[in-house]
Amino acid sequence: MREKIKALLGVVAFYLLFTYLQPYALPPHIRIESPAFFQYLDSLTGYPILMSRIQSFLFCLVIYIFFTIVLERQNWKAAFFLQESPYGLLKGGAFAIICTTCALLIYHAIGLIDLKSPVVSYCGAVSIVFAWLVGQIFNAPKEEFIFRGYMLDRLARNFNVHLAISGSSTIFGLVHISEFGLPGVFDAAVGGIILGYMFVYYRNIWVPVGFHALYDALANPLQAGSFFALQPTASLAWLGAYADQAPMICSAMINTVLLIAFFVWKRLWLLPKYFEGDAHADAPRLRDGGAS
């Protein structure tokens, strides 16, 4: 019980600092002027400002070090997952390509975009993806270390692993509400569940990092109409007031289907009740004291 309370308090404290202290640590009126190259990348992505991503990354890095290395006295190599194979980035990236390809084809099928009428050249599309990837160097590791590497890890070691994934993903969704509203919460929460199961199943933080980075670099410009012009379609009229966020809502629905497919494919209901972060060649096993 003591460990469960400790885990909950750690997650709540981290969430509060991440959500409410960050605006005071990085006040909007104090901005470091971006170099010309950063401004060029910002012009390609449109959002967010790369310098703000770097500032947020550095702030969260300090908080992460304080919780893991200072408070928990964790080894720095373990805290930053340096013992896990970086090839997980490639596996996560492959999953991201599958998801965005499915989204692309479904967007075309329902009339949201026309694949025959791109609004940018091939070189322009590559430039946009590159600009997003530069931002993801700071965003994807930051969010994955916090929400999967810290929050999910602590919760899943002390609570049912499926509830831990759902809980940490709900928190992950809520931190996006100010930027994207309720559709963004749903989209981020579903994405968080996918990322959570990737982390628990593969026991490698770099798999969700790779997925997160490449998925955002591909899906965000796709949803913004940077590759293909977004078109109104009668098939999405039922969205009503949220029709302008149709790409994000469709993405969340597609990811929900892919999540179910991944859950069935990997038989994730057979995961142990409690999570152990160390990698094993064989199937996941219960930690000491876990239910059989």
Q: What is the mean pLDDT of the chain?
A: 88
Per-residue pLDDT tens over the stretch 222-260:
999 999 998 877 777 777 777 778 888 889 999 999 999
Q: How far is CA 233 from the centre of its chain?
A: 29
**C-alpha to C-alpha distance for 137 and 134, rounded to whole angstroms:** 5
**C-alpha to C-alpha distance for 130 and 38, rounded to whole angstroms:** 12
**C-alpha to C-alpha distance for 161 and 157, rounded to whole angstroms:** 8
Task: Write down the pLDDT at residue 31.
Answer: 67
Task: Write down the pLDDT at residue 180.
Answer: 82
For residue 112, what are the contacts with CB-CB under 8 A and spacing of at least 6?
Answer: 230, 231, 233, 236, 246, 247, 250
Contact 185, 177 (CB under 8 A): yes
Quick one: tokens of 273?
A: 């009740």
Q: In 157-205, which residue ranges form alpha helices assigned H by DSSP?
A: 161-174, 177-202
Contact 84, 205 (CB under 8 A): yes
Give the start-to-end residue ranges of the domains of the chain.
2-270
Q: Tell whether the model's pLDDT for residue 205 goes beyond 60.
A: yes
Residue type, 56: S
Lowest mean pLDDT among 106-110, 141-145, 177-181, 266-270: 177-181
Q: Tell whether the model's pLDDT for residue 96 goes beyond 60.
A: yes
CA nearest neighbour of 222 among 186, 254, 269, 196: 254
Contact 185, 174 (CB under 8 A): yes
Per-residue pLDDT tens over the stretch 37-80:
999 999 999 877 899 899 999 999 999 999 999 999 999 999 99
**C-alpha to C-alpha distance for 282 and 213, rounded to whole angstroms:** 28
